[in-house]
Amino acid sequence: MLTKSDIIEHLLDPGVIAVVRALRREQVLPLSEALVAGGITAIEITLTTPDAIGAIREAREKIAHRALIGVGTILKPFDCQQALDAGAQFVVTPICRPEFVALAHRAGKPVMLGAYTPTEAQLAHEAGADFVKFFPADGLGPSYIKGIRAPLPHLRIVPTGGVDLKTIGDFFKAGCVAVGAGSALLGKEILETDDWPALTKRAAEFVAAARAGRRG
């Protein structure tokens, strides 16, 4: 069984977390397989996915030996606990709700609290969050992250929203420890056509761009 430290280590390599908002529960397993084939092994199944809890449970049963399965868009403690009970290995929320920290840590799982400002980010850190999710990052950009890390270098920042093949390298160069990739990775056309080979190709491109950004 992976420890919280093990999970954190896996989340940081290659540092691309796929944010999955599937159209149907039945898509979750094949799209997860496609992501893993492309080198992305951290998969965040959001609660906006139909029967997300069931999808998390199935994915953990089928591919847990090859990928981390987490839960995203957590807004309520009840949902957080349900996802953990279903096997979620990490918890992500777009808001700063400190009570999620105790729930996740009690289960031995890392948690990512949401923030948009330096104050929110520091409060998330002081609450015990393992990572701070900056969302939506498209209105902020890598320069904003770089500016925040100057006085707050201890923050482990993961931007989500606005992360694509053009910006991913700059986010890593700005000091982000990982990124969350949603629609730029799992595009509407891929989900509407179940084009899993295209998803594998795009996943590989994101992984390559992340590694290049880290080197830079």
Provide the β-strand partners of residue 115.
134
44 is catalytic: yes
Cβ atoms 21, 192 nearer than 8 A:
no
In whole angstroms, give the CA distance from residue 159 to residue 114: 9
Helix (H) or strand (E) holding 150: none
CA–CA dist 202, 38 (Å, integer): 7
Q: Are 163 and 176 in contact (CB under 8 A)?
A: no
Say whether 133 is catalytic: yes
List 4, 33, 44, 99, catalytic entry: 44
Catalytic residue among 33, 58, 109, 133: 133
Q: 160 with 182: CB under 8 angstroms? A: yes
Which residue's structure tokens are 């923030």?
115
Q: Give Cβ neighbours of residue 24 (< 8 Å, ≥ 6 apart).
A: 50
Q: Give the sign of the dihedral formed by CA 118, CA 124, CA 129, CA 132.
A: negative
The answer for residues whose C-beta is within 8 angstroms of residue 60's C-beta and 6 or more apart is 69, 86, 87, 88, 89
Residues tagged active-site: 44, 133
